[in-house]
């Protein structure tokens, strides 16, 4: 069988726009902190070869194997690290790199992770409620539900999922957890569908609940803040940083941290408003619909 059709693919979002702001040149050292399956990284590597160096980071060990495979097909020097990008200082220490010329962050989950049924990211695929991007670390969504009080769970669904029926869902979840236990994705999805009114929305009623749990399990917002509080120390003057986010809370963090750095005269903001995907890209790749790109330059 042809490998390309057998493997699900992740189509990278806003690639041309990201390259346009990153401006990778031959000889540059570029840090891709969410290398995933290497969709953006391969294009960057093409621009910085033959003397450039790409450092790729991902907290998902399995996806790193995919990146290794696809990056190996191009000429260009790269090294991959299994780490959380909030530990970027440790990664750069190991790579023996003081300053980089470009930084890319393409947040959220990869289509490969969503398609891998046993990871528990998707409510359409029966699986244990795991949702960890790094399966070697941290607590699963199932543990999280088990540990949280009804009130804390409701707050989480409200804050990270903007779920308007958060209280009602949290009550039903805790009731089920205390009786039969919530073990699988499809069980949770069915429960949410049962207790929420059927609206006109085309999205599944459990979409927001799954998003909220995923953000909490992976500490996505905390890690982003930690990262943004230190990355400028590792950027050479003139280095560019590009961040693609998929959630309004993430975009707000990026916007505010960039503004903070701009006030300190550390960054010049290159995108007054976030860059979004055009109609053509959205038609080809629905994932790009909610993407927002912001960029800044180290001054």
Q: Token digits for 90?
A: 């440790």
Say whether residue 37 binds ligand SAH (CB under 6 A). Answer: yes
Say whether residue 59 binds ligand SAH (CB under 6 A). Answer: yes
User: Of residues 161-220, which lie at the interface with ligand SAH (CB under 6 A)?
Assistant: none
Say whether residue 63 binds ligand SAH (CB under 6 A). Answer: yes
Q: Which is nearer to ligand SAH, 12 or 52 (CB)?
A: 12
Shortest distance in whole angstroms from residue 58 CB to ligand SAH = 5
Q: With contact defined as beta carbons under 8 Å apart, do 87 and 223 qualify?
A: no
Among 20, 223, 285, 290, binds ligand SAH (CB under 6 A): 223
Shortest distance in whole angstroms from residue 223 CB to ligand SAH = 4
Contact pattern for ligand SAH over residues 117 through 156, marking x by CB under 6 A: ----------------x-----------------------
User: Of residues 77-106, which lie at the interface with ligand SAH (CB under 6 A)?
Assistant: 84-86, 106
Q: How far is the CA of 138 from the CAs of 134, 208, 221, 226, in angstroms?
A: 8, 22, 15, 17
Q: Which is nearer to ligand SAH, 35 or 172 (CB)?
A: 35
Which residue from 298, 290, 291, 299 is spatially nearest to 243, judged by alpha carbons? 291
Among 14, 47, 58, 169, binds ligand SAH (CB under 6 A): 58
Whether the CA torsion 197, 200, 206, 210 is positive or negative: it is: negative
Q: With contact defined as beta carbons under 8 Å apart, do 155 and 144 qualify?
A: no
Q: Report how far residue 54's alpha carbon sits from residue 45's, in angstroms, rounded to the nearest whole number.
A: 7
Shortest distance in whole angstroms from residue 56 CB to ligand SAH = 9
The total of other beta-carbon atoms located within 10 Å of residue 134's CB is 15
Which residue from 233, 254, 241 is spatially nearest to 296, judged by alpha carbons? 241
Q: Which is nearer to ligand SAH, 36 or 161 (CB)?
A: 36
DSSP alpha helix (H) spans, the chain: 3-6, 15-22, 39-48, 61-72, 88-95, 111-115, 141-147, 150-161, 166-179, 185-195, 207-217, 220-228, 248-263, 279-284
Say whether residue 10 binds ligand SAH (CB under 6 A). Answer: yes
DSSP lists the bridge partners of residue 292 as 245
Among 19, 28, 38, 172, binds ligand SAH (CB under 6 A): 38
- Residues at the site binding ligand SAH, with contacts judged by CB under 6 A: 10, 12, 34, 36-40, 57-60, 63, 84-86, 106, 108-110, 133, 223
């Amino acid at each position: 069988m042809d490998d390309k059709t057998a493997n699900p693919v992740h189509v990278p979002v806003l690639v041309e726009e990201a390259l346009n702001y990153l401006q990778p040149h031959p000889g540059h050292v570029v840090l891709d902190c969410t290398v995933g399956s290497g969709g953006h990284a391969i294009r960057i590597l093409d621009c910085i070869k033959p003397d450039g160096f790409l450092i790729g980071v991902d907290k998902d060990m399995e996806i790193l194997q995919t990146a290794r495979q696809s990056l190996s097909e191009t000429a260009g020097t790269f090294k991959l690290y299994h780490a959380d990008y909030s530990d970027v200082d440790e990664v750069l220490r190991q790579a023996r790199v003081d300053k980089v010329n470009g930084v890319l962050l393409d947040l959220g989950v990869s289509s490969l992770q969503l398609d891998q049924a046993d990871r528990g990211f998707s409510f359409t695929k029966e699986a244990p409620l795991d949702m960890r991007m790094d399966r070697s670390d941290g607590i699963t969504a199932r543990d999280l539900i088990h540990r949280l009080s009804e009130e804390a769970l409701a707050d989480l669904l409200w804050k990270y999922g903007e779920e308007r029926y958060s209280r009602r869902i949290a009550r039903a979840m805790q009731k089920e957890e205390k009786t039969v236990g919530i073990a699988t994705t499809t069980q949770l999805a069915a429960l949410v569908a049962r207790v929420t009114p059927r609206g006109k929305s085309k999205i599944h009623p459990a979409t927001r609940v799954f998003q909220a749990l995923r953000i909490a399990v992976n500490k996505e917002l905390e890690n982003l803040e930690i990262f943004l509080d230190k990355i400028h120390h590792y950027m050479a003057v003139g280095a560019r940083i590009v961040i693609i986010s998929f959630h309004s809370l993430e975009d707000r963090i990026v916007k505010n941290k960039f503004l903070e750095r701009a006030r300190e005269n550390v960054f010049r903001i290159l995108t007054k408003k976030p860059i979004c995907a055009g109609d053509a890209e959205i038609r080809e790749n629905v994932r790009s619909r909610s993407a927002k790109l912001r960029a800044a330059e180290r001054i």
